[in-house]
Amino acid sequence: MNKALQPQLPTRVWRFMRRYPVLPGFIITLLVVMGLFATQISPQDPLDSTISDTGAPPVWLSGGSWDHILGADHIGRDLLSRIIHGTRISLMVATMVLTTGMLVGVTLGIVAGYKGGIWDEIIMRLVDMTYAIPFILVALVAAVIFGASLGLVLILLAVFAWPAFARQTRGLTLLLKNAEYVWSARISGASPLRIGVRHILPGVINIVVVLATLQVGGLILTESVLSFLGVGIPGPDPAWGSMVSDGRDHIADAWWISMMPGLAIFLTIFAFNFLGDWLRDNFDPRLRQL
């Protein structure tokens, strides 16, 4: 009996991995663990530098050692430790910006869709204006005026994150406000606030969660780009983007300085985008029927 089932085991495993986001889930879980326990699991202090270890290669290359598993950067800081601590920064930025963007965007989207009229016009024009502003140019000017800092990155990303939630929520609210259960609540005397919170919000929350998951990768990439350009997280804090920037002058002889944090950015964006696609396919009833 068991022998007859053995050939089917690889097929079952393959089907399970195709049906559920196993690999992205593992990557995201690993990232969360590294972010929460960065101090405990990092092998070295991410800010400590040893001149004798400058440009040390990864352990699997000639000259590498277990002291620096992924190698050391241009001033002898351990890359693995800096990547682990950089995970905390990236996840913190994404979490805080998404929380703010969701609260503001979903609230304004429901107001615009349900109230309509002048409220809809004002909110949607603000969305259009935000999309029309060149984000990188604003970030560069703001960094020159106020100086690069974590707080500035959070504010800039939050200002430009809410319109996507507002536009998506408004479209769904326009559909839901004419539903029978919403009309019943309105006839029974429910206030607009109660209708928005108790009847419309549950109908849009699934799509909002999917949109938030898809935006995580974009936010982390944007933060990395800002740090790469020198207007994001200031050094010596171990932001992934600034780590890639540190190694751009050493690509020929120490490619791992840029490659390792770049790989961390790639895997993170891949995992969250894949998870977002899976959530969209499972939350959208039209896609579940395909």
> Quick check: is 22 in a domain?
no
> Quick check: is 9 in a domain?
no
pLDDT of residue 290: 47
How far is the C-alpha of 45 from the C-alpha of 82, rounded, in Å? 8
- From the list 220, 97, 211, the residue with the least C-alpha distance to 158 is 97
pLDDT of residue 205: 85
Number of domains in the chain: 1
pLDDT of residue 84: 92
How far is the C-alpha of 138 from the C-alpha of 242, rounded, in Å? 19
**Helix (H/G/I), strand (E/B), else coil: 274:** helix
pLDDT of residue 276: 84
The CATH number linked to 277 is 1.10.3720.10
The 3-state DSSP composition of the chain as helix, strand, coil percent (nearest 5) reads: 75, 0, 25
How far is the C-alpha of 106 from the C-alpha of 13, rounded, in Å? 39
| 197 DSSP assignment | I
> Considering Cα of 176, then 178, then 179, then 184, what sign does the dihedral take?
positive
Range of the domain at 145: 28-288
What element of type H or E holds 103? helix 79-115
> Quick check: is 97 in a domain?
yes
Are 214 and 270 contacting, i.e. CB atoms less than 8 angstroms apart?
A: no
How far is the C-alpha of 180 from the C-alpha of 87, rounded, in Å? 46
pLDDT (tens place) for every residue of the chain, 290 residues total? 455 545 576 777 777 777 778 888 899 999 999 988 988 998 888 888 888 888 888 989 888 888 888 988 888 899 999 999 999 888 888 889 999 999 999 999 999 988 888 999 999 999 999 989 888 888 888 888 888 888 888 888 988 889 999 999 998 898 888 888 888 888 888 888 888 888 888 888 888 888 888 888 888 888 888 888 888 888 788 889 888 988 888 888 889 999 999 999 999 999 988 888 888 777 765 545 44
For helices 79-115 and 117-132, the axis angle rounded to 10 degrees is 150
Q: What's the predicted TM-score (pTM) here?
A: 0.83
Name the one residue in this structure whose structure tokens are 């690993």: 30
How far is the C-alpha of 90 from the C-alpha of 262, rounded, in Å? 13
> Quick check: is 194 in a domain?
yes
179 vs 71, 195, 200, 267, CA distance in Å?
59, 12, 10, 41
pLDDT of residue 284: 62
> Quick check: is 225 in a domain?
yes
pLDDT of residue 263: 92
What element of type H or E holds 228? helix 201-229
- From the list 183, 157, 178, 40, the residue with the least C-alpha distance to 105 is 157
